Structure 1
Amino acid sequence: MIRNFLHIFMMLVACVFGISANAKDMTFEMLYQNHTNMIVAEGAITSETPDAFQAFLDANPFDGFSLVMALSSDGGSLFGGLRLGQMIREAGLDTTVERHPIDPVSGKPTDETANGGCFSACGIAFLGGVRRSVGEGSRLGFHQFSSAGGSFMKEDSVYITESATQLMGATVLGYIMEMGARPDLFSQLSEALPNEMWEPTVDERAALKIVTTDLFQDFAFTPYGKGVIAWAKSPENVTGRSRVGQVTAYCKGGIPYILLSSVTSAYGVDSQMRSLISEVQTGWSVTSEETGEAVSYGIDFVSIRTEEGLPLAELKLDTHGVEILKGGPVLISVDFPASTGAMFYLRTNPTQDDRAALDASFRLCIR
């Protein structure tokens, strides 16, 4: 849907979006770090940046489990930022805000990190990351889109028709929601004029889901059979070898269970890997990350789903495990070697509403 909007959007605003003549176009460099591929992206975003990024992807194969783009840019073209963010999501990349200083000899970015800044159109592109973080000391900022283009310090603007402005607003809002951030982000950034910059605080970044967390929260509950099930999704938890994107709690035969599932088949586990995991798993555990208290369960308390589909593993627990689970923050992990190519784990820190949903799901088996 957003892609279709972008094509119309580009035709309407291509003539009015530009970039400061003094700004250097965004460049991309691949930095290989053990199991992580880091794409260092610095410079101004133009309408040609998405094409440059596609050419970079075509010429630089990935060779790792974690794919991250480090952004540092004062912004530029809104269309370029929107399309770049969409491409980042399509490639399954994480995003972070940080700089990587250039080695004066090789002319390539180094492993060293420095404070970066990602503003305006760069902030929009940043939202494309599956998992999003801002390095300590780095800055992230947003403001109203402007027909003036270029630097956010530019106060003059050109005329945009009302229909084009409405289309731009709808496109940006739709993009924000599609990328998993709160729709309130749009109203917040709209309050900052084109010559201003709103830099959300750490708490605002979390509340508006500008940055992501690996915690499963916001459990919903749904009637099922004679009781209810409680479930939560966290697509951001699916990265590298981690495969769990949804957790579901329920009661079956008087026994509490939690089901670990993939979010989509694209990030699932094939039948051969499932069979291997079933053979080598040694149980599972739930651990309080606050107190260190843990409950471990043996192999009979794990049922690996070997058939194709989103469900990965059904875990049986008891009253003690349920209490630790609801107490949070906790780590749930199925025990098997990571050398299989997958990991089944998740973290959660239930809120008061989450605990109520979990209580409802376990009501028929925990009294």
Structure 2
Amino acid sequence: MLGILGAAVAAGTVAAAELTGVRTEDNATIIALRGDIEEGDADGTEALIKTANDDGRLVMAIRLDSPGGSLAGGIKLAELIRRAKLPTVVVSGARCASACFIVFAAGVEKFASFGAAIGVHGVSDRLGHQSAQTEAATLAMARIAGLFGVPPRIVGRMIVTRPDAIAWLSPDDLRSMGAIMTDRVEQPAPPVSASKPAGPARRWLVRAPHRADEP
């Protein structure tokens, strides 16, 4: 599937996410991902999992705060999370949209704060343009979301929402895909209709996969 997406669109380089291992009070580890997702981030995450395990600590979850990035990188990271049976978490004040949504959906358990913003949209090329290739990539991405248990209603909104807009998901939307809502409502929920987010949106960046020798 990564090969199909990589062949669909060639996008420009984005900065890799910041990945850190946070030790909990009970000597476990939570991996925190912040920023743009890149294809090497799956390798970086796997290295953090190995480091924690070598130290005798379990990795309890991956915490996400990302506006998006490389779609191919997001899918590769999602596949790792599914293999490792890791929960995914989006805390209050964090955002998870675009490629990050696929990563969130892959969690064996999904936790989302009422104060988090989680959204979906379609694929564009590096210039923000849509084409037959980007439409094919959107459909391929939608199929992957379906395999991760994302219901047809959300998949449909992913397909019809323009790359320069985001369809923010409501708590009911998130529950419908198996997410557990956490915290009390601390702020108004993000708009459910497709609209431009506050600040710059990260489009789906679909790039040809490459082999990384280092995280």
TM-score bracket for this pair, using the shorter chain length = 0.7 to 0.9
**Are the structure 2 counterparts of residues 212 and 86 from structure 1 closer, same or farther at C-alpha, using a change threshold of 3 Å?**
farther
- 2:22 is the counterpart of 1:31: yes
- 2:114 is the counterpart of 1:145: no
Asked if the contact 1:74/1:120 (under 8 Å) is kept, the reply is yes
Asked if the contact 2:75/2:103 (under 8 Å) is kept, the reply is yes
Q: Give the match for residue 57 of structure 2.
A: 63
How far apart are 1:158 and its partner, in Å?
4.4
**Are the structure 2 counterparts of residues 159 and 185 from structure 1 closer, same or farther at C-alpha, using a change threshold of 3 Å?**
closer
Q: Give the match for residue 128 of structure 2.
A: 157
Asked if the contact 2:8/2:134 (under 8 Å) is kept, the reply is no
Q: Give the match for residue 93 of structure 2.
A: 115
- 2:3 is the counterpart of 1:7: yes
Q: How many residues of Structure 1 are paired with residues of Structure 2 in the alignment?
A: 178
**Are the structure 2 counterparts of residues 68 and 138 from structure 1 closer, same or farther at C-alpha, using a change threshold of 3 Å?**
same
Distance in 2, Cα, partners of 1:43 & 1:199: 18
Q: Give the match for residue 110 of structure 2.
A: 132
Structure 1 length-normalised TM:
0.44
Cα deviation code 1:134-156 (max 9, x no counterpart): 123121111112213xxxxxxx4
Q: Give the match for residue 242 of structure 1.
A: none
Structure 2 stretches lacking a partner, 5+ long: 182-215
Asked if the contact 1:17/1:78 (under 8 Å) is kept, the reply is no
How far apart are 1:57 and its partner, in Å?
2.8
Output aligned runs, 1:1-367, within 5 Å: 5-13=1-9, 15-16=10-11, 18-19=13-14, 24-33=15-24, 34=26, 36-61=28-53, 63-64=57-58, 67-98=60-91, 115-148=93-126, 156-158=127-129, 160=131, 162=132, 164-165=133-134, 167-207=136-176, 209=177, 211=179
Distance in 1, Cα, partners of 2:115 & 2:13: 29
Give the partner amino acid of 1:157: G
- DSSP 3-state at the match of 1:59: helix
Name the structure where strand makes up a greater proportion of residues. Answer: 1
How far apart are 1:67 and its partner, in Å?
1.6
Distance in 2, Cα, partners of 1:183 & 1:87: 24
Cα deviation code 1:166-215 (max 9, x no counterpart): 542342122112212213322112232111111111112112x16258xx
Distance in 1, Cα, partners of 2:12 & 2:141: 15
**Are the structure 2 counterparts of residues 50 and 63 from structure 1 closer, same or farther at C-alpha, using a change threshold of 3 Å?**
same
Give the partner amino acid of 1:205: L
Cα deviation code 1:256-312 (max 9, x no counterpart): xxxxxxxxxxxxxxxxxxxxxxxxxxxxxxxxxxxxxxxxxxxxxxxxxxxxxxxxx
**Are the structure 2 counterparts of residues 8 and 52 from structure 1 closer, same or farther at C-alpha, using a change threshold of 3 Å?**
same
Asked if the contact 1:46/1:76 (under 8 Å) is kept, the reply is yes
Distance in 2, Cα, partners of 1:194 & 1:31: 33
Distance in 2, Cα, partners of 1:187 & 1:178: 14
Give the partner amino acid of 1:121: A
Distance in 1, Cα, partners of 2:130 & 2:154: 25
How far apart are 1:58 and its partner, in Å?
3.2
Give the partner amino acid of 1:132: K
- DSSP 3-state at the match of 1:83: helix
Structure 2 length-normalised TM:
0.73
Tell which deviates more after alignment, 26-35 or 75-84: 26-35
| Structure with the larger RCO, 1 or 2 (CA within 8 Å, 6+ apart) | 2
Distance in 2, Cα, partners of 1:10 & 1:54: 22
How far apart are 1:115 and its partner, in Å?
2.0
- DSSP 3-state at the match of 2:78: helix
- DSSP 3-state at the match of 2:111: strand
Distance in 2, Cα, partners of 1:136 & 1:183: 22
**Are the structure 2 counterparts of residues 139 and 159 from structure 1 closer, same or farther at C-alpha, using a change threshold of 3 Å?**
closer
* Structure 1 vs Structure 2 CA RMSD: 2.3
Asked if the contact 1:117/1:139 (under 8 Å) is kept, the reply is yes
Q: Any runs of at least 4 consecutive aligned residues in structure 1 with deviations exceeding 4 A, and if so which?
A: none
